[in-house]
């Protein structure tokens, strides 16, 4: 399909990302085990506003999302606003699985270009620690019927139908509803199809942790990762607790496959872990940012979303979205300073890289030419989701702010950022900094 070059700008100029930050990311059931997604999101938004000397009267919109829903409070954006006393701030929620905060940023960008807002906050949050533990289908059905039973005798009769195994809680899993496979199982299918070796996956995982550890050691993350204060004693938390500070390549080879124990290659070491955290982006029109005296981190040059059937190549969506985003920006890979890809699995990253260079594959799916071979020296230079973790709704905000901070550190340039997501979705966003 033809894709024309587009300029993501309105009467008030380009879409500026003035600032971006995130909470430290924490492995499931550790530092944030007593906090939910609202708590984490509010923490990030509060710090973002304080750091930029803004109050609720300055914010025209809050667009936030999450993936692990809170049944009693699914309207995450408004709940965050209310938790912070932002009673008059318009807020709405979006979910796009692992690409959620790519979508919240894109939606805010569209609103700014259309002139509907000049100052807004986008972001995402997730707490896997707060996810409800599923009950067996048998127990759920009986409890439902018990709630409608008219007598104690009827309730006892229903409960007596249960077997001991029905009472056991079910382990939570990230399963693709339409195909009945976990993402890890789908990744195993992809790496076999695309010929990705265990060695390549482990190399990518080791690089992710090594680059992340170096980024922390060199202070590259100091501005973009806030200090969280944990209840009940306001204990400060500054660092992520997932990065392997002394990653050793040999250790990855010792791990056993998780999803295909016979012939598989996807392990806990080359996969992103279940994680809690939140991220937020302060976005403005270029004109408004300059009028208020802000120096933006950078600008959103273009974006694209794409989809394919989840039956195969579930996590290849970025291969379809990236050529569209790059075409809209009028760029080639040679123009890029950085490529920052969300790492759901090292195998997914390796397949995406191979797909981006496969002209037959890209043309058959999009009608566009393949982007080509990605320069590995530009890839995830400060680490990715395998090292930092993956709080689904927050990952996009991390990737965007991390890429912009690195571009700024280098004196400017262009970055392609991508994310795969459930349902066969892919996201891509081109960023620029001056």
Q: Residue 274 gets which letter from DSSP?
A: B
- Asked if residue 205 has a cis previous peptide bond (ω within 30° of 0), the answer is no
CA 189 to chain centre: 22
Lowest average pLDDT, out of 96-100, 154-158, 289-293, 368-372, goes to 154-158
CA pair distance 99, 329, nearest whole angstrom = 20
CATH of the domain at 32: 3.40.47.10
Of the pLDDT bands very low, low, confident and very high (cuts 50, 70, 90), residue 167 is confident
Q: In the predicted model, is pLDDT for residue 394 greater than 90? A: yes
Q: In the predicted model, is pLDDT for residue 51 greater than 70? A: yes
Q: Evaluate whether residue 184 is within a structural domain.
A: no
Q: Evaluate whether residue 185 is within a structural domain.
A: no
What burial class does residue 280 get, using C-beta atoms within 10 Å of its C-beta: 0-12 exposed, 13-18 middle, 19+ buried?
buried
Please pick, among 31, 98, 206, 209, the residue that the annotation labels catalytic: 98
pLDDT tens sequence across 193-228: 999 999 999 999 999 999 999 999 999 999 999 999
Q: Evaluate whether residue 196 is within a structural domain.
A: no
Q: Evaluate whether residue 98 is within a structural domain.
A: yes
| Domain ranges, residue 125 | 9-131+272-433
Q: In the predicted model, is pLDDT for residue 66 greater than 90? A: yes
**CB neighbourhood size of 52 (10 A):** 15
pTM greater than 0.75? yes
Mean pLDDT, the chain, whole residue set:
96
Of the pLDDT bands very low, low, confident and very high (cuts 50, 70, 90), residue 1 is low
Of the pLDDT bands very low, low, confident and very high (cuts 50, 70, 90), residue 255 is very high
pLDDT tens sequence across 131-145: 877 778 898 898 999
Please confirm, yes or no, whether 209 is among the known catalytic residues.
no
Residue 323 corresponds to which tokens in the numbers above?
């050529």
| Number of compact structural domains in the chain | 1
Please pick, among 31, 209, 342, 390, the residue that the annotation labels catalytic: 390
Please pick, among 31, 206, 342, 420, the residue that the annotation labels catalytic: 420
Please confirm, yes or no, whether 351 is among the known catalytic residues.
no
Q: Evaluate whether residue 350 is within a structural domain.
A: yes
Scored b (16 or more CB within 10 A) or e, 217-236 reads eeebbebbbbebebeeeeee
Q: Evaluate whether residue 205 is within a structural domain.
A: no
Q: Evaluate whether residue 217 is within a structural domain.
A: no
Can you list the alpha helix ranges (DSSP code H) found in 330-434? 346-356, 359-366, 385-388, 395-409
């Amino acid at each position: 399909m033809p894709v024309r070059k587009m300029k993501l700008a309105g009467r008030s100029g380009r879409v500026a990302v003035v600032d971006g930050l995130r909470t430290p990311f924490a492995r499931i059931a550790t530092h944030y085990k007593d906090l939910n997604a609202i708590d984490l999101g509010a923490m990030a938004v509060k710090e973002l506003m304080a750091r930029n000397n803004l109050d609720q009267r300055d914010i025209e919109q809050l667009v936030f999302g999450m993936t692990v829903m809170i049944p009693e409070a699914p309207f995450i954006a408004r709940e965050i606003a209310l938790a912070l006393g932002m009673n008059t701030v318009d807020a709405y929620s979006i979910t796009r699985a692992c690409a959620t905060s790519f979508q919240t940023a894109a939606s805010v960008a569209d609103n700014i270009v259309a002139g509907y807002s000049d100052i807004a906050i986008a972001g995402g949050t997730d707490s896997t620690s707060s996810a409800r533990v599923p009950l067996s289908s048998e127990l759920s059905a009986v409890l439902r019927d018990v709630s409608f039973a008219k007598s104690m005798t009827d309730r006892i009769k229903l409960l007596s139908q249960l077997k001991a195994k029905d009472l056991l809680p079910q382990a939570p899993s990230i399963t693709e509803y339409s195909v009945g496979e976990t993402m890890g199982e789908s990744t195993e299918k992809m790496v076999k199809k695309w010929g990705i070796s265990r060695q390549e996956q482990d190399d990518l995982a080791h690089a992710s942790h090594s680059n992340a550890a170096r980024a922390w050691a060199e202070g590259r993350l100091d501005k973009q990762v806030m200090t969280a204060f944990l209840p009940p004693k306001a204990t400060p938390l500054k660092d992520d607790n997932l990065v392997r500070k002394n990653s050793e390549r040999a250790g990855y080879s010792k791990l056993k496959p998780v999803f295909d124990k016979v012939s598989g290659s996807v392990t806990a070491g080359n996969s992103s872990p279940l994680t809690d955290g939140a991220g937020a982006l302060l976005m403005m029109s270029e004109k408004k940012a300059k009028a208020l005296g802000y120096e933006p981190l950078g600008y959103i040059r273009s974006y694209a979303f794409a989809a394919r059937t989840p039956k195969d190549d579930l996590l290849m969506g970025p291969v379809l979205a990236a050529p569209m985003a790059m075409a809209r920006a009028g760029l080639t890979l040679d123009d890029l300073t950085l490529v920052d890809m969300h790492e759901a699995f090292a195998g997914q990253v390796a397949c995406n890289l191979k797909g981006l260079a496969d002209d037959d594959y890209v043309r058959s799916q999009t009608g566009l030419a393949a982007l080509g071979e990605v320069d590995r020296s530009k890839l995830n230079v400060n680490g990715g989701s395998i090292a930092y973790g993956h709080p689904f709704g927050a990952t996009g905000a991390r990737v965007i702010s991390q890429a912009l901070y690195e571009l700024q550190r280098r004196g400017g340039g262009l970055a392609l950022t991508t994310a795969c997501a459930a349902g066969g979705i892919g996201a891509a966003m081109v960023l620029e900094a001056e």
